[in-house]
Each structure stands twice: as structure tokens, then as C-alpha cells.
């Protein structure tokens, strides 16, 4: 930290409250930050000098067959084992009901033998229908974005770069429709890898899988172009290669995770909010950081211009965001607005008072970005091994206080209204995937998942009002065992106030999309492209360095990328000093 920087003694004065942060409308406006898990992984790859190698490529002239891509960390090797095949057009779908895919993958723990390859060849293409072992850490599948994939192959085969407008409109060559880990379908349990340094941060194995899939897709297109065009063929230029991300189609499957892991979610949010508070509490800015921010507004304007979606709601929000960024740039041109004590707090307050949630959350990312030396240590606090436990020694009076304080949002909902209990969460019988049903329309209400947090707290509070404070919680739970699970959750929220979504998840107006975007932003996803209130497409690793670029000084300068230019996010966290 610069000697010119002065921090207020108590940064908590600048912390946003759980009541502000954990509301669905703000959660559904989230953007990735430099603490997002992809950024954390890329920094580790570079810092530890991970080695990447394509060890096998045994495919026919159409690219169908086996590929193996390996990465060696300081302590071990991981191998992406991929299988590609031709699939009929009428069987191509990103939905969970799909039975065939263009490419299927396992992340193998180590270097696979031929026996391992043969085993995976019999199982990986079947995905859920296969059988997996603890040597398999993740299971994934992906489909081509056909227009972009074909254009890229055809163009490169003729010695030309692909259509940049077409590539920008999609952002990737292939998109995954699932990346499973943590014991699903027989893959290794989380416990196997939890103590490995490279796996301690959230979802690092799954995101390593995606990073290798990105490399595989770019490599595959270049190899197919070479097969088709021979000596005329060229590879992607470096700018285009780095711009290409990996797509993902994400639905309800990940939404319940946020509700089932409250201690973990608290740590994620506290890290982000602490980073923001640290920056807002700077009285005199670190040299160069304000200039970086002003330049970043130019880049993010171009990034938003390239963010085109069909969804009417999100399209309108993007249009408004475009206007707001321009208005903020004009406000910043008055130097007296920003070159003053506590400039970051002043910028944030101005945006909070005048602009949309979408703009507010983007500015949170932008003002955190140039402060890596101040905030990057928080990435080490975002994991958790805590399992909330029932605390029988809490007094009933204390429990009532916590409910009244932390769950006012729930106790004031009128659950007698149909619109307050319009939806319910359940598992589908065929795919064992979460579903979001409507009462009176969808079957399955008798199999409802225990995700009705607001309703359960409301019912608990109603009963608590008629119970004397001197009764022990143990006695109360014996009399009312149906409340044991929600009491445990309330006790967790008392200790971890950012763990709870402070909205009614059963409401008629509830959009699961908000939960998805919140979680995906922590992953590092961008270009949210809603296809309904239930699922979205996204880009992952767009702008990220390729394996051969990880040693470059600007390896961490890839947020909010734009097409057709070298990734040039203005940065003072490394030696590149690039500018827009």
C-alpha cells in the first residue's frame, strides 16, 4: 500500500448491510470482481508457473476421437480427457434432457494410463449414465456454437481470421451444459481434494476443467482448419484467441446451492463487501488508481456495447446501463467531484444515489479492480468447512431477538396470500435436478425441498410469540420438532449475517435467474444472456490469458474484455501499465 494512502481506522463504517446486499434485485445485478474464482485461479496458475501440455490427440479428419490436455502444478498433475463425436441435428440441445453431446470430458486426477482411457471411453460419453471412480474429479459436456465454430474453421482454413462481429455476438466456440464435481455420479468426493492448496478456494477444480475445455475448443478449431486448408490455414491471432471464452448454459441446478451452504455464502459476500469497504475507506488514493478507474469507464462502455441479448428485461437494463456509464463519465470530468478526500466513497455514493442497481454493482467491480495489493488477500477467506449445528444452549429470548432483528423481512410477509406461496422447489424424478413449480399447475408439491426459508421463519415466529422466554430451546424443539431445521438456520444467520437471501423465494414475482447470476458472478462469469426466468447463457474466461500467456506481466488484466483489441484493461497491479 502506498505511504500516501490513509485508511479510516474502522473500515466497517463503509460496509454495506446484509439488508442492502442480500436482496434478490441487487443479487440479480451482480458482476464479477477481481476476487471471483476464475481470477483467483488464473493468478495462482501464473504465480506457481503451472505447466500445460496437450499429451494426446487421436482424432479423425472431422475431429472426432480422443484428446488429453494436462496441467502440472507444483505438487501434482491433472488431465482433461475429452471425447468428441458426431451427433444428429435433431438430438442437439443444451437442456438437461440431452443424451448426446459434441464433446464430453472428465478431469482425471493424475496422468491416465491406457487402461484409464479405455475405461473413460466407455463411460464419459454417457455422462450421467456412466460409472465413475475417485480418480475422476469432474464430469462435463459441451456443444458447439455451430455458426461461430463453422465460420472459424472455414475462415482459418482460407488463411483469414473469423468474422469478428459474429464471434463477438456469441463470444465462444463451444458452451458447456454441465460441469459436475464433488462426488456427483461417483466422481471423487470433495474431501479427497479439500486439503490441496490449489483446491481450497471454491470451485477451483470445476473452473480448471472449464479453462482446459476452453483451450481444447480453440485448439480443435485450429486443427480442423489445418486439416481442411493445409498450408493455407492459419491460427487465431493472439488478440482473437484471448477474446474467445467458453459458453455455459446454466439453469436451476445451481440455485439451491446458495441456500444449502449459508456459511460459505456468508464468506463470499463478506470478502467482496470488505474489499469494497477497504477501498471506500481510503482517504488519499493510491497513486494512479483514479486514472485507472477513469480509463476503465471507457473500456467498460465498449464492453457493454458488445453485450447484446434478446431478453427484453435485460436488454432494457443494458440500455440504461450504457446511458448511466456515460453520465458518470461526464460527472467525473469535473475534477472536484473525484479529486477530494475519500474519492472512492464519493464515487460510490454518487452512483448509489443516482443510478440503477446494475450500474451500482458494475461500479463496485471497477473501483475494487485497481486495488489488488489492498484486497487480494481476501480471496483466501472465501472457503468454509463449517457445518451449522443446532445450539441447544441458546436462550429462547435470544432466539426471538435474532428472528425479530435478522428476519424482519420474513415475519412481515403475509403468507396467507396466494401470491406469497405461488411457487415451490422440488426435485425432478427423471434427472434428479431441482425444479421450480407453481402450485395448482405443477405436480410435486408433496416432494417440496426445504427451501422455503421465509415461510418457515414466519411460522416459527408465530409460535414463538406464545412461548415464555424461560423455556429452553431444547424443550421447545422437542415440543415443535418441525422447527428444528429452521432454528439451526436462524442460529447460523446470527453468527453469519450475510448468509441469508432476504426475500421470499416462493413469491409469484420471484425470479430464480437472480440467484443464478449472483452465484455465477462470484465464479467470474460475464455477458449474462437470460433465456427465461429459469436459465441463462454466460461466457466464462472471455479475455483470460491462454496457457502460453500466463507468464506475461498483464496476465491478471482481463476484466470486461472487448473484441478486436489486445486485452488492455488499465492496471496498476502489475508491470504492464497498459492503457485503453
Angle (nearest 5°) at CA 304 between 576 and 14: 75
DSSP state letter for 94: -
CB 43 within 8 A of CB 326: no
pLDDT of residue 94: 66
Chain centroid to Cα 562, Å, comes to 20
Average pLDDT of 533-559? 95
How far is Cα 363 from Cα 16, in angstroms, rounded to an integer? 14
pLDDT of residue 95: 64
Residue 452 φ then ψ, to 5°: -85, 65
pLDDT of residue 573: 52
2 pLDDT more than 60: no
Which pLDDT tens digit goes with each residue over 39-80? 999 999 999 999 999 999 999 999 999 999 999 999 999 999
- Give me the half-sphere count of Cα atoms (radius 13 Å) on the Cβ side of residue 329: 15
The secondary structure of 290-349 as a DSSP string is HHHHHHHHHHHHHHHHT---S-HHHHHHHHHHHHHHHHHHHHHTSHHHHSSSSHHHHHHH
Which pLDDT tens digit goes with each residue over 77-94? 999 999 999 988 777 776
**Residue 129 CB partners (closer than 8 Å, separation 6+):** none
Percent of the chain at pLDDT above 90?
80
Reported as a pLDDT band with limits 50, 70 and 90, residue 13 is: confident
C-alpha cell at 296: 476503465
Reported as a pLDDT band with limits 50, 70 and 90, residue 184 is: confident
425 pLDDT more than 80: yes
3-state secondary structure of 478: helix
DSSP state letter for 379: G
Residue located via cell numbers 443494458 = 318
pLDDT of residue 436: 84
Residue 436 φ then ψ, to 5°: -120, 105
pLDDT of residue 6: 41
Of 28-37, 207-216, 332-341, least confident by mean pLDDT is 332-341
How far is Cα 93 from Cα 24, in angstroms, rounded to an integer? 29
| Run of H or E including 144 | strand 136-144
Reported as a pLDDT band with limits 50, 70 and 90, residue 578 is: very low
pLDDT of residue 10: 58
CB 177 within 8 A of CB 98: yes
pLDDT of residue 96: 61
CB 83 within 8 A of CB 102: no
248 forms beta bridges with 176, 538
Reported as a pLDDT band with limits 50, 70 and 90, residue 570 is: low
How far is Cα 227 from Cα 423, in angstroms, rounded to an integer? 52
Which pLDDT tens digit goes with each residue over 342-362? 999 999 999 999 999 999 999
How far is Cα 254 from Cα 252, in angstroms, rounded to an integer? 6
C-alpha cell at 115: 487402461
181 forms beta bridges with 138
Which residue pairs, CB below 8 angstroms and at least 24 apart, start in 110-118?
110/76, 110/77, 110/78, 110/79, 110/135, 111/55, 111/70, 111/77, 111/79, 112/68, 112/79, 112/81, 116/81, 117/66, 117/68, 117/81
pLDDT of residue 432: 64
Can you give the residue ranges of every domain in the chain? Answer: 11-34+258-383+515-549, 37-251, 396-499
C-alpha cell at 105: 470430458
Length of the chain (residues)? 580
Q: Is the dihedral of CA 180, 556, 272, 301 positive or negative?
A: negative
| Run of H or E including 540 | strand 536-540
Of 45-54, 249-258, 379-388, 421-430, least confident by mean pLDDT is 421-430
Between strands 103-109 and 136-144, the pairing is: antiparallel
Average pLDDT, the chain: 92
How far is Cα 563 from Cα 580, in angstroms, rounded to an integer? 13
Burial class (CB in 10 A: 0-12, 13-18, 19+), 234: middle
pLDDT of residue 431: 60
Question: Which candidate, 101, 58, 97, places its Cα nearest to that of 81?
Answer: 58
Cut 0.85: pTM above it? yes
The secondary structure of 198-246 as a DSSP string is GGSSTTHHHHHHHHHHHHHHHHHHHHHHHHHHGGG--PPPHHHHHH-EE
Of 297-301, 437-441, 461-465, 504-508, least confident by mean pLDDT is 437-441
Write a three-state SS string for 100-164. Answer: CCCEEEEEEECCCCHHHHHHHHHHHHHHHHCCCCCCEEEEEEEEECHHHHHHHHHHHHCCCCCCH
pLDDT of residue 439: 84
Of 131-145, 378-392, 440-454, least confident by mean pLDDT is 440-454
CB 242 within 8 A of CB 550: no
CB 502 within 8 A of CB 18: yes
Amino acid at each position: 500500500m502506498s505511504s500516501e494512502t490513509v485508511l479510516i481506522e474502522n473500515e466497517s463504517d463503509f460496509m454495506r448491510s446484509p439488508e442492502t446486499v442480500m436482496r434478490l434485485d441487487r443479487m440479480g445485478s451482480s458482476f464479477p470482481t477481481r476476487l471471483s474464482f476464475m481470477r483467483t485461479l488464473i493468478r495462482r496458475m501464473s504465480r506457481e508457473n503451472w505447466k500445460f501440455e496437450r499429451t494426446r490427440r487421436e482424432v479423425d479428419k472431422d475431429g472426432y476421437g480422443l484428446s488429453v490436455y494436462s496441467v502440472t502444478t507444483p505438487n501434482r498433475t491433472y488431465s482433461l480427457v475429452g471425447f468428441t463425436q458426431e451427433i444428429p441435428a435433431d438430438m442437439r440441445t443444451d437442456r438437461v434432457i440431452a443424451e448426446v453431446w459434441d464433446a464430453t470430458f472428465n478431469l482425471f486426477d493424475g496422468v491416465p494410463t491406457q487402461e484409464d482411457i479405455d475405461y473413460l471411453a466407455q463411460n464419459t460419453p454417457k455422462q450421467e449414465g456412466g460409472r465413475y471412480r475417485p480418480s475422476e474429479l469432474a464430469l462435463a459436456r459441451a456443444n458447439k456454437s455451430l455458426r461461430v465454430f463453422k465460420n472459424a474453421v472455414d475462415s482459418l482454413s482460407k488463411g483469414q481470421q473469423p468474422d469478428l462481429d459474429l464471434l463477438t455476438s456469441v463470444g465462444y466456440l463451444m458452451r458447456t451444459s454441465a460441469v459436475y464435481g464433488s462426488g456427483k455420479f461417483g466422481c471423487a468426493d470433495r474431501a479427497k481434494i479439500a486439503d490441496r492448496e490449489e483446491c481450497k478456494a471454491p470451485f477451483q477444480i470445476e473452473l480448471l476443467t472449464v479453462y482446459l475445455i476452453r483451450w481444447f475448443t480453440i485448439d480443435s478449431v485450429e486443427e480442423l482448419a489445418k486439416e481442411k486448408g493445409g498450408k493455407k490455414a492459419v491460427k487465431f491471432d493472439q488478440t482473437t484467441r484471448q477474446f474467445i471464452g467458453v459458453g455455459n448454459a446454466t439453469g436451476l441446478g445451481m440455485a439451491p446451492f446458495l441456500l444449502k451452504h449459508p456459511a460459505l455464502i456468508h464468506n463470499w459476500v463478506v470478502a467482496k463487501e470488505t474489499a469494497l469497504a477497504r477501498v471506500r475507506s481510503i482517504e488519499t488514493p493510491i497513486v494512479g488508481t483514479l486514472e485507472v478507474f477513469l480509463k476503465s469507464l471507457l473500456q467498460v462502455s465498449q464492453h457493454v456495447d458488445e453485450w447484446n441479448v434478446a431478453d427484453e428485461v435485460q436488454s432494457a437494463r443494458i440500455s440504461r446501463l450504457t446511458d448511466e456509464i456515460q453520465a458518470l463519465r461526464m460527472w467525473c470530468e469535473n475534477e472536484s467531484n473525484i479529486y477530494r478526500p475519500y474519492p472512492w466513497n464519493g464515487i460510490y455514493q454518487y452512483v448509489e444515489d443516482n443510478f440503477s442497481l446494475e450500474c451500482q454493482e458494475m461500479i463496485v467491480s471497477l473501483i475494487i479492480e485497481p486495488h489488488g495489493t489492498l484486497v487480494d488477500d481476501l480471496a483466501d477467506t472465501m472457503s468454509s468447512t463449517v457445518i451449522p449445528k443446532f445450539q441447544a444452549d441458546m436462550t429462547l429470548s435470544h432466539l426471538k431477538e435474532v428472528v425479530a432483528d435478522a428476519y424482519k423481512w420474513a415475519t412481515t410477509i403475509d403468507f396467507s396470500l396466494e401470491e406469497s406461496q405461488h411457487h415451490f422447489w422440488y426435485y425432478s424424478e427423471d434427472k434428479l435436478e431441482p425444479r421450480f413449480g407453481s402450485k395448482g399447475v405443477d405436480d410435486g408439491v408433496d416432494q417440496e425441498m426445504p427451501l422455503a426459508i421465509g415461510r418457515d421463519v414466519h411460522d416459527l415466529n408465530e409460535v414463538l410469540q406464545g412461548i415464555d422466554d424461560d423455556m429452553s430451546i431444547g424443550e421447545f424443539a422437542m415440543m415443535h420438532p418441525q422447527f428444528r431445521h429452521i432454528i439451526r438456520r436462524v442460529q447460523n444467520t446470527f453468527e453469519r449475517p450475510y448468509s441469508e437471501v432476504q426475500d421470499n423465494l416462493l413469491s409469484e414475482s420471484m425470479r430464480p435467474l437472480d440467484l443464478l447470476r449472483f452465484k455465477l458472478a462470484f465464479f467470474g462469469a460475464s455477458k449474462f444472456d437470460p433465456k427465461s426466468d429459469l436459465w441463462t447463457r454466460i461466457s466464462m474466461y472471455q479475455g483470460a490469458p491462454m496457457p502460453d500467456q500466463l507468464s506475461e506481466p498483464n496476465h491478471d488484466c482481463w476484466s470486461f474484455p472487448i473484441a478486436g483489441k489486445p486485452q488492455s484493461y488499465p492496471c496498476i497491479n502489475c508491470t504492464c501499465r497498459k492503457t485503453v
